[in-house]
Amino acid sequence: MHKLCWPLFGLALVAACGQAPDPYWVDFTVRPNDQGVEIVADVHGGPTTAWVGFGVGPGTPPELVDQIEAMAAYSAAGEVLEVTAVGRGGYQIETNGEPWKLSYRLSLRAGAEDPSFYRASTRGKDYLVLVGSDAWARFYSDPTPLTRPPEARPPGPVSGATARFELPGPDSEWRVVSTAWEEAANTFAMRQHPVGSVFALGPFETIQLPEAAGLRIARHRDWNIMPEQVDEMVDDLMMSHREMLAPPDNIRALALLSPLPESLSPRSGLRTAGMVRGQTLVVYASKAPLVPANHPDIAEAMAVFLGHELFHLWVPTSVQVTRELSWLSEGWAMHMGRYAAVATGWLDEAAGTRRLALSYRRYLDIGGYRAGSLPAASTGHESQRNLLYLRGELVFRLLEREWHQANPDRPFERALWDALASAYDGVEPLDSAAVRTILTGLVDATTVRRYVEGQAPLTPDAIGLAGQ
């Protein structure tokens, strides 16, 4: 019997060593001001030596971690804890294993000076949008994540968090909007680290859409594009996507409609930008002052644009893909945006075809015939993004046409969605090999090689635009 004790003890020791590190529980308090925002975090759990870092989201410059200032840590009794800088935007803190506090300041530039759309300030009519991966400290049990660049840092072992906001001044128009669970006024609870969250603070009006269950609109008071119709348009487009595909996995979604900063407003026409972060769609749009708010061209362009952005609540949120498949995410979003705009009547079908023909001519103007494969364009320089969007949409048009010839009664979009959703396990993003298998199960393998993998140029005949 005694001979079994040591092996069993050794087994127990190995099991204990292999367990996940003690998770943290973090309660954030956020106080916006004219210079940015002050954040205090009450931290529970974790090891006696805490490793704290900051990160940035996809497509965001790593320099944003340099806007973190005045980092300090205190024990529950108010004693100053030792803080040592580790790498870029990283810190080592000796906590003695007791609950402790972390405080820091996020310095924001004025809205007109800030190069990022969502880093506005609280000055004047501006507002503040905190994107999870930029604003919130991340907590680790070892220093390894701090050796990674800010754009590659994981959220860390946080089992739960709250975020409580103390809004500046008595301005009753200001409120906080988010998809995080609001358990009290301006207080939100999350089961994990708020790294994927978006919190918008400012003069927003929220609207619950009557048909698209689970989707809310938060519209800034200065939004001036189709102000009487944009809610209906979003509702229509969302329902079109739901009918064509299926409800997204995350039914609590938010569409944040915001004007562009004045410095980015166009002198003519319309300018738009969009960002999907988790379950939140942030839409920026501004028109030239002389363009009527309900001009037909504005309505058509906004329908395609909003249809594109709303589709991102499915891909990559409900089905995630690797970077070399951003052609699928963006090209399909372009295709579905135009499809939904036509299906809901916000864009005439003939006008949709004309707009697609214009896209094809732009595709040629920026070197479409010389383009390589779509996966190569997905990982290429930012200057290739327009080409990626256009070529991706045109390829989806081509795939749809080929599918429809053999399956006239079944939509290609639903068939592709069902195949992607079946292959996605909810954890590992789909890669090019998996999607190639899916596509060759829907259309001829030669088509995939020629047009997705770039062995042949797209021609007007191939994509059904001959004579346009």
pLDDT digits (tens, 9 = 90+) for 313-324: 888 888 989 888
Which range is least confidently modeled, 5-19, 233-247, 344-358?
A: 5-19
**Confidence bin at 25 (pLDDT 50/70/90):** very high
Mean pLDDT of 372-399: 81
412-425 pLDDT, tens per residue?
999 999 999 999 99
Cα(3)–Cα(284) distance, integer angstroms: 70
Is the separation of the CB atoms in 193 and 156 below 8 Å? Answer: yes
Residue 239 pLDDT: 92
Residue 306 has pLDDT above 60, yes or no: yes
Residue 462 has pLDDT above 90, yes or no: no
Cα(69)–Cα(84) distance, integer angstroms: 14
**Domain 24-116+130-200 class?**
mainly beta
Is the separation of the CB atoms in 101 and 76 below 8 Å? Answer: yes
- The residue among 340 and 67 whose pLDDT is bigger is 340
**Confidence bin at 110 (pLDDT 50/70/90):** low
> Sheet holding 280-287: strands in order across?
204-208, 215-220, 253-258, 280-287, 270-277
Is the separation of the CB atoms in 141 and 53 below 8 Å? Answer: no
Residue 7 pLDDT: 36
First-to-last C-alpha distance (Å) of the chain: 87
Which range is least confidently modeled, 152-166, 348-362, 454-468?
A: 454-468
Give every CB contact of residue 329 below 8 A, 6+ residues apart in sequence: 312, 315, 316, 321
Residue 229 has pLDDT above 70, yes or no: yes
Mean pLDDT of 350-377: 80
170-203 pLDDT, tens per residue?
666 788 999 899 999 899 999 888 888 889 888 8
Domain boundaries, the chain: 24-116+130-200, 203-295, 319-468
Residue 17 has pLDDT above 60, yes or no: no
Q: 249: which 2 tokens? A: 């996995």
Tokens 């800030």, located at residue: 114
Residue 37 pLDDT: 86
Mean pLDDT of 449-467: 81
352-365 pLDDT, tens per residue?
888 888 888 888 88
The third-level CATH classification (topology) of the domain covering 319-468 is Neutral Protease; domain 2 (1.10.390)
Give every CB contact of residue 41 below 8 A, 6+ residues apart in sequence: 26, 27, 28, 29, 101, 102, 103, 137
